[in-house]
Amino acid sequence: MSLKIGVVGGTGNVGRKILQVLTEQSVDIQSLRLFASKKSQGEKIPFQDREITVELLTKEAMKEPFDYLLFSAGGEISKRFAPIAEKAGNTVIDNSSQWRMTEGIPLVVPEINGDILKGYQGIVANPNCSTIQMVAALSPIDKVYGLRKINVSTYQAVSGSGMAGIQELQEQIGDPKREPRTYPKTIAGNCIPHIDVFFDNGYTKEELKMVYETQKILNKPELPVQVTTVRVPVMNGHSEAIYAEFERVPDLQEVREIFEKTEGLVLMDKPEDLVYPTVLDAHDRDEVFIGRIRKDLFDPKSLALWVVADNLRKGAATNAVGVLIHMEKLKGL
């Protein structure tokens, strides 16, 4: 069936990636409309063999019939407009954090828990970019060995802050004395252990997103998840050093075989030949890359691994389009 699709925030980094992924995934589109703020109204965005004129986002537009509306314009926009679209009978796939922990709203990585969408219509939440790549890597081995605890440190690219983050890094590379505007400290040549606001418990909002979203997606509400998120001077692509404890003793060979057989994962784990993933390997790719797999030196039930993904694609646009595709497949079952 040809689909009527709208993209809210179609002029941003993720919005443009959504258009790219829709084309690559050969989604059958009857009509495509792009919505943004007044500042971008009238802008022409190339899509396949034509240009699409950006429309002003209005309540009236969200009441019109769409098969899917993909939101990528921030939490406040989603909070204001997504319920209007839902009430009109539209399915909304939202990239912001606004609805992720709302009871009754599915938080979905299609290959992990996509079946909860069968028969569903309404708002679907896209998880945090760092959460997506972590659960994509851990879910297949959780099914075999049973996750008991996660400890993760992230190394997150400036593209996660949008064009403002990219521009600030570019400017500071040229002029290291340029005052920071997007980040609390200079990002060029630096690592900042601070993403989003701090809470009274010492954790940032980004860190707690990973904790609670992981528990919800894996359906393990009591799973201990310890997180430190760090912004690094990398243009695009997030990296994660993950330490995971399991109920059973994992076999390294079996773990590697599980990763090799799991669609959407790429194993790069031959350190003796300097084979391990970096963000350059993941750039503009949809897969999650895994390497540096090793046993804990003291606890046989624990593993350490290195996980890399393109945060604009796998961490946002590809997952959102994947939700759309999965929902369409479920309709045919």
Residues tagged active-site: 129, 238
* Torsions phi, psi for 99 (to 5 deg): -110, 0
Residues in the chain: 333
Q: Alpha-carbon distance 303 to 292, whole Å?
A: 10
Q: Alpha-carbon distance 130 to 213, whole Å?
A: 10
Q: Alpha-carbon distance 13 to 30, whole Å?
A: 24
SS3 92: strand
Q: Alpha-carbon distance 124 to 106, whole Å?
A: 5
Per residue, what are the HEC states of 56-75?
ECCHHHHCCCCCEEEECCCH
How far from the centroid of its chain's Cα atoms is residue 294's Cα? 26
Number of H helices, E strands in the chain: 10, 14
Alpha helices in 175-317 (DSSP H): 205-217, 252-261, 279-282
Cα–Cα nearest to 137, from 15, 309, 320, 325: 309
